[in-house]
Each structure stands twice: as structure tokens, then as C-alpha cells.
A and B are shown apart, each in its own frame.
Chain A
Amino acid sequence: MSLLEIEGLEVTFGQGEGRVAAVRGASFSLARGETHCIVGESGCGKSVTSLAIMGLLARGATRQAKRMEFDGRDISRLTEREMSRLRGHRIAMIFQEPMTSLNPAYTIGSQMAEVRTRHLGGTKQAALDRAAELLGRVGITAPGMRLGQFPHQLSGGLRQRVMIAMALMNDPELLIADEPTTALDVTIQAQILRLLAQLQAELGLGLLLITHDLGVVARVAHRVSVMYAGEVVENAATADLFAAPRHPYTRGLLECLPIPGKVAPGAPLGSIPGMVPKLTPGFTGCGFRSRCSLARAECAAPVALRGAPHLYRCVVDA
């Protein structure tokens, strides 16, 4: 049984005429101890998908899903109070902006400890001990001293390590990481990514990693979902996807990548012409058809995912 099972997730923002669909029927599943990447360009709905799973959508957003199960339990109908018992406890999340994601008014220790005492109870001291242990585990030196420090005293890379440690306070089964390295320096990015991969393997975490970077996908993902215009257009084991991409958009994306050995130095990289369509309420069918060289009439009708286990959402046979 998979840890997380999402089917037909839809998220819309706004109401009436101004309504915009951010996610239109995203489906994927994530097994225990698996790293699953959702990859796509900005605005494709990948971050919204992760927030929708957590129940953290902004006010004014509506969420619907055919199926949304965590550990066999339907989480689409949980109340805010029930959901808050799962969040930070069995499902944890880290964000893109380490500089602003920690509360400036409280120490690292206090912010880490409260998530433990909130869900598992116990003394504050026990929670602080656990926090110190985890800070060490995510590669922070002198964890005892860090506990007493405030966020502004830490660099961006350190803060993201703190966020990761804080997410692990209650041994979650699922960790959602929304572009955790995007806001960091390139060298730090690699360190954080390595740390995440290492922790995932050691702790047997289910890791749902949201990224726009196919390089990241190639390095850490077991399975990958490619999102475009609010839909999952392809879902496959990482190696299969890179070896034989089936959706025209995925192929376009891979052609944009400079892969040493495959692309000769100086050779022009690919690019995808056109723009992402505006997803107003009436929009149906493949979101990529206006940019696709293979587009035909039936692309305007809803396209189903097919070809298990290497799923793709295209009317053209791969």
C-alpha cells in the first residue's frame, strides 16, 4: 500500500469569472521510503499541489479530489483540527524561503521544541535534547549553542538545515520539500540536497520533492511526475523517464538540458516556443497543445493518463 495516494486533485483560486484553475486533476502516488519528485516550470501547479496535500492553501482557494489518502486514511475530509494533528507529526514540510520561514522573535530551540511537545507531549527539556540531536544530525556544529540563537543570527543554508531538523522532530513518515534549495547559493544547494537524500535513505522517509530542476530529479528521485498547466503529464520511474520520455513536453524539457557527453560543447540547446495558457474555468484538454508540434483536434478534449507503469497524458503514441 502506498503512503500517499492522490487522484484527481483540483485546486482553483478566486470565484466566478475571475476563477483560475491552478491544479486540474493531478494524480500520483508515493510509496513508503520513496523519493518522488514533482517537476515543472513555475506556475505549473506543483507548489499548490504540495500545499493542497498539507491543507495549507491560502484563503480563497478551493480544493477537490477524487481520492486523497495518507497511510490509507482519507485526508480530504479531515477538519482543520484533525489535519493539524497530522501536520508536523506524521507529515512534515519545508519551504523554499529559509530566510523568512522561521519566526524572527523566537529562538531556534523554542521553535524546534514546540513542534515536539505539541504532538508528542513530554518536557520542554526532552524536546530540546531531541532538537540538539537533530541539529547535529543535519550537520550543524555546536548544536547546543544554536538552540539559543535567533534566526537572524544564522545564514540561509543553516536556516534550511534548521528547517529540515525541525521537520524531523517527530519522525514523520512523509516529508514534503517545496523547492528547498532554490533560494540558496549553488554550493549550499548541493549540500542541502545531499543531506536530504541521505536522511531520506537513513530514516526511510517518504520524500515528496518539488523542484523545477531536472538535475535535482536525476540525482535523488526514485519516481518522477512531470507537471504542466496544472496536470501531471507524465509519471514514471526516474531512469525510464530520462531514457525514454513519452510526453512531448517532457521531451522538450530534456532537450533544454546540457548533458555532458550527450550535448556537444557549443551546440545550441533546445527551447520550447510559446506560452503557458491561462487556465480559466472553461479550459479543457491538454494544456501543452498550443506549444506542441504534434497537436491535433482531439487534444482539446480531456486526455487520460495511459501506458502504466510509465504513465503519460498524450493522444499521440509514444
Chain B
Amino acid sequence: MASFLLRRLILAACVALTVLTLAFTLTRLSGDLAISIAGPSATDADIAIIRTAYGLDRPLPEQFLAWVGRAAVGDFGESFFFKARVSSLIAERMPITLSLGLTGLGIALLVSIPLGILAAVREGSWVDRLVQLFAMIGQAMPSFWLGLIMMIFFGLQLGWLPVSGTGSWEHYVMPGTVLAFSAIPALTRLTRSGMIQALASDYIRTARAKGLSRFSILFKHALRNAALPVVSIASVQLGFMLGGSIVIETVFALHGVGFLAWESITKNDFPVVQAVVLVLAVIYVVLTLLADLFNAVLDPRLRG
């Protein structure tokens, strides 16, 4: 177990370092950053000053090492556009994105686990087909479009939910639902196939031979085993959702990290962009680590 964890940690660190390099390279793609920072009206002298001020005149490897050194302690520099510390900008916006992601994951699990179980129990029936069709429709749904349609319907025509902003919990219902749609197909399919596999197993036959109730067979014996892959995919999906929330935050004007990233991209505010890429990647890596840990708790075979 300990060596398994250590290996996972080393892998996570390597991944983080790779993404770090990528995030750095990404922002140097556009050529001379000093020109983009200074803006169109700047003189050559202004650009020279900016270049020295941001250390852009030094060799790239040196810039990279300096950036990595500071990023390692959570210092991502200062935003050009917001004139604030990038770290505090992200910290300020993170709660909104996390709330959105967790709401989305919560809704996704609430929908997909019962649906997956239902489809598995009625495998091959019209219920099963309907659930699979639903998953397929969810997979084909453009999230930004679904968001707009929901706005028209629930926001304007029915007037049930606020159309944008972050004032109350109601503000998270629509974006959360839209975000959930990105995870529902995968989670439903996984629950379904996991349950079908579990229900066909020898230990379920034993459970039936023991005369256990249908409830206990389904929810105690089968679901516990089917839940293992669902748990790990759910945390991975949360990572994807946080990364994908940029679209939904923009649609619903939720001022989270995704919205921040989008603003920064349009403003060429590269310290913010690379910091958000890095933070989201690290969150993803941490989530997959947590999934492994959680799996180890749930699956006695992994505890060793």
C-alpha cells in the first residue's frame, strides 16, 4: 500500500512538472510578450521597460526556472489586466467553480446511479434501452447550447430560476445541471455495466442461495462492487468538469475560475492563464490520487 502510494505520488509529481512546462511554453507561443502586454499604443521605450520589468529579456530557461520556483510556493506573479496577485484572484474565484463542479457532480450521481441500476436490473428491456438512449442524447448535447435553451425555458418563459450571476443557490441549479450532463452518460453506462457484471457473478448467486432480500442483494452485495469503478470515474469526471466549467461559467456569467481564465485569454493576461491551467491540472492529479485512495478503502483486495 505504502509503495503503491509512493509510486502514485512520484507519478503525480512528474505529471505536474510536465504540465508546468506545457503551461509555460503555452504562453510563449505568441512571440514577444512585452508587445502584447504593452498594448498597441506603446512606444519602443515602453516595451523595453516592460521587458526588463517582467524579466522577459532574460534567457527562456532562466525565466522558466524562476517561474517554476515561484509557482512551487504558490506565487504566480501579478495579473496585467486585474492589477492583482494571480494567486489571490484564483483563490477568490475558486469557491464558485468548486460549488459549480460539486453541484454538477452531485446532480450527475443522483441521476446516473439510479438510472444505471434500473437499466442493469431490467437489462435488455425497453427501460434499459430508454436509459441508454438518454445517455446517448446527453453525450451529443452541446453544453453551451443546452445552457441557453434552459435559460430561455426556465429563466424567461417559466421564470423559475435566475438566468445568470451567483447570488443564491438557485443560481447554481441551471449551470450545475448543464455541467452534470457532461458526466451523466459516462457514469450511467459505468453503473449499468458494473451492475450487470456484479449481478451475473457467483457471489450474487450465493447471496440469492442464502435467501437474502432483493434489496440486500441489489444494494448491499451488487452495488458495493459495482460502485468501485464509479467512484474512481466520478472523481476523474469532477476534474474534467472543473476544466470544462469555463464554457458554462461564461454562458451563465458565473465569475469563477473558468470565467477568469476566459477573461484573461481575451485580454492576453498570460500569468493568469498559465496559473489557471496549472491549478486545474494539479487539482485533476490530486483528484485521481484521492480516487485511488478511496478505492483502496472500498476494495479490501487493494489494502493488501
Q: Which residues of A contact B (CB under 8 A)?
A: 54, 56, 80, 83-89, 92-93, 95, 97, 100-106, 114-115, 118-119, 150, 152, 163, 166
Contact = CB atoms under 8 A, between A and B. Distances in A.
B120 to A, nearest CB: 12
B301 A56 contact: no
Which secondary structure dominates chain A's binding surface? mixed
A56 B208 contact: yes
B224 interface: yes
A80 B213 CA distance: 10
Given A104-B203, A105-B299, A118 B212 contact: yes
A88 B212 contact: yes
Contacts of B202: 95, 97, 100-101
Contacts of B211: 83-89, 115, 118-119
B210 A118 contact: yes
B18 interface: no
Interface of B: 201-203, 205-214, 216, 221, 224-225, 298-301
Contacts of B201: 100
A84 B208 CA distance: 7
A54 B300 contact: no
B225 A92 contact: no
B203 A88 contact: no
Contacts of B216: 114, 118
A152 B300 contact: yes
Contacts of B299: 104-105
Given A84-B212, A89-B211, A115-B211, A102 B300 contact: no
B228 to A, nearest CB: 8
Nearest to B298: A105
Nearest to B302: A152
A214 B202 CA distance: 26
A92 B209 contact: yes
A244 B203 CA distance: 41
Contacts of A105: 221, 224-225, 298-300
B122 to A, nearest CB: 11
* For the complex of A and B, 9 pairs with smallest distance between CB atoms: A88-B211, A87-B211, A88-B210, A100-B202, A150-B300, A103-B203, A115-B210, A84-B211, A93-B209
B300 to A, nearest CB: 4
A101 B204 CA distance: 8
Contact of B301 (A83, A150, A166): A150
A146 to B, nearest CB: 14
Given A86-B211, A114-B212, A103 B205 contact: no
Contacts of B300: 104-105, 150, 152
Contacts of B213: 84, 118
Contacts of B301: 104, 150, 152
A114 B224 CA distance: 16
A103 B221 contact: yes
B222 to A, nearest CB: 9
A95 B298 contact: no
Contact of A87 (B203, B209, B298): B209
A68 B209 CA distance: 18
A119 B210 CA distance: 9
Contact of B209 (A88, A103, A119): A88
Contacts of A100: 201-203
A56 B205 contact: yes
A83 B214 CA distance: 12
A103 B210 contact: no
A106 B300 CA distance: 8
6 contacts: A85-B211, A87-B208, A101-B205, A103-B221, A105-B224, A152-B301
Contacts of A115: 210-212
Nearest to A80: B214
B233 to A, nearest CB: 18
Contacts of B214: 80, 84
Contacts of B298: 105
Contacts of B224: 103, 105-106
A101 B212 contact: no
B278 to A, nearest CB: 37
A80 B207 CA distance: 14
Contacts of A152: 300-301
B225 A104 contact: yes
A102 B203 contact: yes
B78 to A, nearest CB: 51
A87 B210 contact: yes
Q: Which of B209, B214, B224, B225 has the most CB of A within 10 A?
A: B209
A83 B224 CA distance: 25
A49 to B, nearest CB: 15
A102 B206 contact: yes
Contacts of B208: 56, 84, 87
A104 B204 CA distance: 11
